[in-house]
């Protein structure tokens, strides 16, 4: 299946400090999560060990929401949560 990462997804990834490689890794090896409106979602926890907004976090959880059209997986958006999961 071909991944098509939408420009909106990359914009949100940049704002929320996720990388394109992390998005691809989530899509390839992440755990399925529930999503609304007939869409699909996957999530994965990554080690972070860094500061975000002047607060230290051990991990970040990256959630990618997407849909499948024909043989293409098309991303919709990405969310990033920081903490200890």
Q: What is the pLDDT of residues 53-85, one digit of tens each?
A: 999 999 999 999 999 999 999 999 999 999 999
Question: In this structure, are residues 41 and 65 in contact, taking their beta carbons and an 8 Å threshold?
Answer: yes
Give the pLDDT of residue 81.
Answer: 98
> How many domains does the chain divide into?
1
Tell me the HSE value of 16 on the side-chain side, using a 13 A CA sphere: 21
Domain enclosing residue 74, as ranges: 2-83
CATH number of the CATH domain containing 53? 3.30.2310
Report the DSSP pairing between strands 31-33 and 40-52: antiparallel
């Amino acid at each position: 299946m071909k991944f098509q990462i939408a420009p909106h997804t990359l914009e949100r990834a940049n704002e929320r400090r996720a990388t394109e490689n992390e998005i691809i890794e989530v899509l390839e090896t992440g755990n399925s999560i529930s999503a609304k409106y007939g869409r699909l979602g996957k999530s994965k926890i990554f080690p972070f060990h860094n500061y975000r907004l002047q607060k230290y976090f051990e991990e970040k959880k990256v959630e990618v929401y997407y849909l499948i059209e024909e043989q293409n997986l098309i991303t919709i958006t990405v969310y990033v949560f920081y903490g200890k999961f």
